[in-house]
Amino acid sequence: MIEFKHVYKAYLANVPCLRDVSFRVNEGDFVFVVGPSGAGKTTLFKLMTAYESKNTGEINVLGHNLSSLKKGQIPFLRREIGMVLQNYKLLKNKTVFENIELPLIIRGLSADERIEKTEQIIEKVGLKEYRDQFPDFLSGGEQQRVAIARALVHSPKIVIADEPTGNLDSELSQSIMKLFKDFSKQGVTFLVATHDERLLKTSESRVLRLNKGLVSEDVQ
pLDDT digits 0-9 by tens, 189-199 = 999 998 877 78
- The pLDDT score that the predictor gives to residue 20 is 95
- The pLDDT score that the predictor gives to residue 47 is 96
Choose among 157, 162, 166: nearest CA to 184.
157
| Structure confidence at residue 59 as a pLDDT band (50, 70, 90) | very high
Percent of the chain as helix, strand, coil, to the nearest 5: 35, 30, 35
Each residue of 147-179: pLDDT tens digit?
A: 999 999 999 999 999 888 877 788 888 888 888
Burial 69-100, CB ≥16 within 10 A → b, else e: beeeeeeebeeebbbbebebebeeeebbbbbb
Q: Is the separation of the CB atoms in 156 and 117 below 8 Å?
A: no
d(CA 3, CA 217): 16
Q: Kindly state the DSSP code that residue 205 receives in the 8-state scheme.
A: -
Highest-confidence range of 16-20, 172-176, 214-218, by mean pLDDT?
Answer: 16-20
Q: Which whole number is the average pLDDT over 20-40?
A: 92
| Structure confidence at residue 115 as a pLDDT band (50, 70, 90) | very high
d(CA 83, CA 46): 11
| Structure confidence at residue 45 as a pLDDT band (50, 70, 90) | very high
β-sheet with 56-61: strand ranges across: 15-25, 2-12, 56-61, 64-65
Ramachandran bin of 8, using left for φ above 0, alpha for ψ from -120 to 50, beta for the remaining angles: beta
Look at strands 206-211 and 189-194 and give their pairing: unpaired
Q: What are phi and psi of 74, to 5 degrees?
A: -60, -45
Q: Is the separation of the CB atoms in 50 and 74 below 8 Å?
A: yes
Q: Which whole number is the average pLDDT over 202-219?
A: 86
Angle CA 93–96–128, to nearest 5: 155
